[in-house]
Amino acid sequence: MKKYALGTFSVKDGDPFAGLVVNEKVAPLTELAASRGEDGLATFSSVLTILDQWEHCKPILDRVAAAVDATDDWYALSDLQVHPAVNLPRQIFCTGANYRKHVVDLTVDSKVGPEGLGPDELRRWAENMMDERVRIGDPYAFSKPVSAVSGAYDDLVLPATTQKPDWELELAVVIGRGGYNISRKHALDHVAGYCIVNDISARDLIPRTDYKMLGTDWLRSKGQPGFLPLGPYLVPKEFVPNPHDLKLKLSVSGKVMQNETTADMLFSIERQIEYISRYSRLLPGDIICTGSPAGNGTHYNRFLQAGDVIEAEIDGLGSQRQLCVTAHE
């Protein structure tokens, strides 16, 4: 089967269209389908509408991609405006504290643990705690507003509300078939594919200091505009043989900050889908952000500032690039 991806694009200021991506070249999907007599796909004008009918559309997409013999007259991806791959998702779920080394590093960096432990002892304590959590615990999930979504190459506007904007490169799961109380065994049957997200976070806004019993405030710390670059495209799951063995790499202004693999996840994608769907009905087009590996700004005590360039990539899923700007630019 020929590898392809789906995304949402536009020519300059034109209307967004669902595009088929082959070798970083893009063709409007409705036009491509119509030219090949695939009328069953020609009316699906957005990636979300395709995901709504994923089981119907997927075989047609496969046939259309297989029939492509040249892409010379297609748009180059670099010549298009790249919108969020799913423009826009219905619901966004994030799985927090889901990479072992990341959580251990945060524990050591923040010195959160039993009193009297040195750094090495604290690290061992945190590692044992993570192993026990996986054995008897559950994923930790929360939602993020859809208004936070942006394109993979859009500028990241750093809001005046935070002094510690941070990066979190993540593998995103795109739901193609909804469901409630989905079993771990059948969880991947509900997945359409995967893409890249960067779960931008205002670290100084996570804890509520006005009333500490409230705990964390995910709305203000993760829900601001542009705080979830999504894309550049969605890769169907059959082209990602093992989503738990993908390399993730993120740099800030040329310095590599995150360089890990999805193998360090504490809770697998199947367990995350099982857990989230136990309490919330998943819908086609939903996004699950599966957690971020070690190497966030908190670890380096280095946060985003105007002029920084974030570059991120995940094996087989393309890359992102954001220029950080202040709100008045």
pLDDT in tens, the chain (329 residues): 799 999 999 998 899 999 999 999 999 999 999 988 998 887 888 999 999 999 999 999 999 999 998 889 999 999 999 999 999 999 999 999 999 998 888 888 878 888 888 888 888 998 998 899 999 999 999 999 999 999 999 999 999 999 999 999 999 999 999 999 999 999 999 999 999 999 999 999 999 999 989 999 999 999 999 999 999 999 999 999 999 999 999 999 999 999 999 999 999 999 999 999 999 999 999 999 999 999 999 999 999 999 999 999 999 999 999 999 998 74
Residue 237's φ and ψ, nearest 5 degrees, are -65, -30
Residue 81's φ and ψ, nearest 5 degrees, are -80, 125
What one-character-per-residue DSSP string does 119-146 give?
Answer: HHHHHHHHHHHHHHHHHH---EEEE--G
Please, what are the domains in the chain? 5-82 (no CATH), 92-98+139-326 (3.90.850.10)
Report in angstroms the alpha-carbon separations of 319 from 189, 196, 266, 275, 283: 26, 8, 24, 29, 26
Q: Strands of 222-303 (E only): list them.
A: 228-229, 235-236, 247-252, 255-261, 287-289
Report in angstroms the alpha-carbon separations of 251 from 59, 176, 201: 37, 31, 16
Report in angstroms the alpha-carbon separations of 115 from 112, 118, 120: 9, 9, 13
Q: Are strands 287-289 and 92-96 parallel, antiparallel or unpaired?
A: parallel
Residue 72's φ and ψ, nearest 5 degrees, are -60, -35
Crossing angle for the helix pair 119-136 and 100-110, to the nearest 10 degrees: 140
Under a CB-based contact definition with an 8 Å cutoff, are residues 64 and 256 in contact?
no
Alpha carbon distance 317, 319 (integer Å): 7
So what's the pLDDT on residue 254? Answer: 98
Q: Based on C-alpha coordinates, what's the Rg of the chain?
A: 20
For CA atoms 232, 61, 88, 95, the dihedral sign is: negative
CB neighbour list of residue 168: distance below 8 Å, 6 or more residues apart: 198, 199, 200, 201, 292, 296
Residue 316's φ and ψ, nearest 5 degrees, are 75, 0
Beta-bridged to residue 46, according to DSSP, are none
Tell me which residue of 133, 328, 148, 318 sits closest to 233, measured CA to CA. 318
User: In one letter, which amino acid is 160?
Assistant: A
Beta-bridged to residue 92, according to DSSP, are 287
| Tokens coding 167 | 């990066």
DSSP 8-state class, residue 180: S
